[in-house]
Chain A
Amino acid sequence: MIENPQRVEQFKGEIADMRLADPAAGRDRALLRLGTALMVVGVVLAPVAYGISHGTTNALQQRDAQIIAISGLIVAVVGGALFLRYSMAQFLRFWLARLSWEQQAQTDRVVEAVAPGTTAAAAPSTPAAAPATVDVR
């Protein structure tokens, strides 16, 4: 048996320091469902408020309906934010990583075009990314 004690100790240390998610992690799913429900409730409140407003000539009731409609809007926005946070977070994180990588590659291409040889280690890898295609004038 061959061991690499240094790496093993480092691994143990890193695992010991690792933050673990709450075991009751159905929280994410619950918040996703709450977000969806709030969006639906918000949208439903709009026609309800319209119905109330349309069905009366009483200005006080119409103002109440306006408040209900605005509340519905707020509820829908909050629900949308929750939904976005807990459903698309993974996708958006990957998209952001890709975007920053492409920006870095673009920067490398510009630098290479301006001062050839300075980014040799990170030279663009695709034919489309060749320095000759970059016009910096």
Chain B
Amino acid sequence: MTAVDASPPLVADGASEPLLELRGIRAGYDGIDVIHGIDLEVHPGRVVALLGPNGAGKSTTLKVLSGMLAPSAGDVLVAGRRVNGARPDDLARRGLCLIPEGRGIFPNLTVRENLWMMTHRGRTKADVEEQAAARFPQLTRFLDQTAGTLSGGQQQMLAMARGLATDPALLVLDELSMGLAPIIVDQLYETVSQVAAEGTSILLVEQFARIVMDVADDAAVMVHGHIVETGRPRDLEASLSQAYLGG
């Protein structure tokens, strides 16, 4: 398998307008591009996995689509509108929710206070707490505990509970499984499956590809800043092996 400059766009079966579309995105740091003209689409109700080894440019792609990093070329379209230059908080407020690698919780606030931060879409504090408890009953035991003292799995649950409390239209998850025990990862992906079943569009970024095989509808393999293959997750296993092992 060879890297292609113009990566094939990931298109779902349906003819619906993509909720998220990246067109010819180039981006990087200090003038050096680390993603080189990628195309990607996430259609309503689909779960798309962006897979690839460490350093492929997956997290940089997420930074671009969430407004945290300006692309040097190309267009980011959200719900059909070009949003290059949109502020990350503007996008988040409207329903593009990114749960970043490293969870992005406030470690010095309690679990309850972390949840309260998510009332910006008009939900009450009690409502947010109730929803978090329904999704992750384990968290209710730690509501008054400082979030930084939770285990990695509990912190990831809190991060997801916070993200889901905003009722996202498009949920973007960066390395959900990072540093977690397999049993916790399974629990988290079970929740991801539930959220997907409720109709939320999801873009998953994972280094450990096998985890998302059963969850994702579509997948794209990213290597060295290029999307080298797209398709159904099961059809990409050979490409994934090559992507991770080189060759």
A residues with CB within 8 A of B: 1-5, 7-8, 10-12, 14-16, 18-23, 25, 121-122, 125-126
Q: Which residues of B contact A14 (CB under 8 A)?
A: 94-95
B94 touches A4 (CB 8 A): no
A11's contact among B13, B19, B43, B124, by CB below 8 Å, is which? B19
Q: Which residues of A contact B83 (CB under 8 A)?
A: 15, 18, 20
If A1-B217, A10-B169 touch, does A125 touch B112 (CB 8 Å cutoff)? yes
Q: Which residues of B contact A25 (CB under 8 A)?
A: 85
For the complex formed, measure the closest distance between the CB of A41 and the CB atoms of chain B, giving whole angstroms: 30
A125 touches B12 (CB 8 A): no
Those of B110-169 within 8 Å (CB) of chain A: 110, 112-113, 124-126, 143-144, 167, 169
B182 close to chain A: CB less than 8 A:
no
Q: Which residues of B contact A20 (CB under 8 A)?
A: 83, 85-86
Interface string of B1-22 (1 = CB under 8 A from A): 0000000000011101001000
**Can you report 27 A-B residue pairs in the complex whose CB atoms are below 8 A from each other?**
A1-B14, A2-B198, A2-B199, A3-B16, A3-B44, A3-B199, A4-B45, A4-B169, A4-B198, A4-B200, A7-B199, A8-B169, A8-B201, A10-B169, A11-B79, A11-B169, A12-B80, A14-B95, A15-B78, A16-B81, A18-B83, A20-B85, A21-B86, A25-B85, A122-B126, A126-B110, A126-B144
B residues with CB within 8 A of A: 12-14, 16, 19, 43-46, 78-81, 83-87, 90-91, 94-95, 110, 112-113, 124-126, 143-144, 167, 169-170, 196-201, 217
For the complex formed, measure the closest distance between the CB of B94 and the CB atoms of chain A, giving whole angstroms: 4
Q: Which residues of A contact B201 (CB under 8 A)?
A: 8
Q: Report the bound CA distance from A125 to B114 in whole Å.
A: 12
Q: Which residues of B contact A121 (CB under 8 A)?
A: 124-126
Q: Report the bound CA distance from A15 to B44 in whole Å.
A: 15
If A1-B45, A11-B170, A121-B126 touch, does A21 touch B198 (CB 8 Å cutoff)? no
For the complex formed, measure the closest distance between the CB of A6 and the CB atoms of chain B, giving whole angstroms: 9
- With most chain B CB atoms within 10 A of its CB, the pick from A11, A20, A21, A25 is A11
B110's contact among A11, A22, A125, by CB below 8 Å, is which? A125
A8 touches B86 (CB 8 A): no
A15 touches B126 (CB 8 A): no
B45's contact among A2, A12, A16, A22, by CB below 8 Å, is which? A2
